[in-house]
Chains A and B, each alone.
Chain A
Amino acid sequence: MPINYYITLALCLFSIGVVGVLTRRNAIIVFMCIELMLNAVNLLLVAFSKMHHVAKGAAATAGSDGQLFVFFIMVVAAAEVSVGLAIIVMMYRNVHSININFLNRLKH
């Protein structure tokens, strides 16, 4: 399978995530779209690691760096989700809404 199919698929998922972040006002859906963008990048990293493995003449560990970076991205995303959802729950408890237009008052 050529690499450009995977690049196009990852770009599609990433652009859908960007559109979701720009258009939706629900804080949880904005968060989920960020997860979608992270997953698009993960898919692209795995595809490039498998491409690198072919390009290096199938050496033993060529391309395993990309897959380990995907592992670390998953670790950071899990930590980010736990803290972010705690912040969203705290915000809901204070203002009884998770519309992110409310965050406009951070400007003042």
Chain B
Amino acid sequence: MNITQLLFWVLTVIAIGSALTIVTSKNPVYSVLGLIVTFFAISGHYILMNAQFLAIVNIIVYAGAIMVLFLFVIMLMNLSRTAETLKNKWLQIVGAIAGGCLFLVLIAALKNTEVKKNLVEMGTGDIGLVKNLGRELFTTFVIPFEISSILFLSAMVGSVVIGKKD
């Protein structure tokens, strides 16, 4: 087992463990912290696959901006001490069974595919660098890129209008 495979397994265990923390923890602040750890593990996977632009954007946008927004909302509402009311045990069991069935069905569908023998390029390949992705973004995908700026503007205006006190 070389260093790349070792890093893959370490990051996989961190990602799945912290994702389970999100679902199982009672305190919403711990859920947010678990989600931040999951995002850092996924960024580590991106770096292993040499997708450096996406790794940095994932840390800046998700772990930096979105998670700060979540923490800010949780602390604004002071939710961290209120327990969830109306605990329904059967609902949790049925939800876990449904998610497990989805996982089993998808794994069983994976079992008969041809694609599973293909290899993922690790550590090499320069399509994930900022230079190449930027060139593609401003030539082939320039229309969706400009439309996404309009989407951001409308989301900003919309959240201000929704949150306005009147």
The residues of A with any CB-CB pair to B shorter than 8 Å are 1-9, 11-13, 15-20, 22-26, 28-29, 31-33, 35-36, 39, 42-43, 46-47, 49-51, 53-55, 58, 60-65, 67-68, 70-72, 74-83, 85-90, 92-93, 98-99, 101
Contacts and interface: CB of A to CB of B under 8 A. Distances in A.
6 contacts: A12-B16, A26-B84, A32-B22, A54-B119, A76-B148, A78-B152
Contacts, number: 239
Contact of A46 (B46, B65, B106): B46
A89 to B, nearest CB: 6
A75 B62 CA distance: 10
Interface of B is mostly: helix
B148 A23 contact: no
B29 to A, nearest CB: 10
A63 B148 contact: no
B120 to A, nearest CB: 5
B10 interface: no
Contacts of A24: 23, 84
Interface string B126-160: 01100011001100010010001001101110111
B70 A2 contact: no
A54 B103 contact: no
Interface of B: 4-5, 8, 12, 15-16, 19-20, 22-23, 28, 31-32, 35, 38-39, 42, 45-46, 49-51, 53-54, 57-58, 61-62, 65-66, 69-70, 73-74, 76-77, 79, 84-86, 91-92, 94-96, 98-100, 102-103, 106-107, 110, 115-122, 125, 127-128, 132-133, 136-137, 141, 144, 148, 151-152, 154-156, 158-160, 162-163, 165
Contact of B133 (A3, A43, A67): A67
B58 A67 contact: no
In this complex, the member of A19, A58, A81 whose beta carbon has the largest number of chain B beta carbons within 10 angstroms is A19
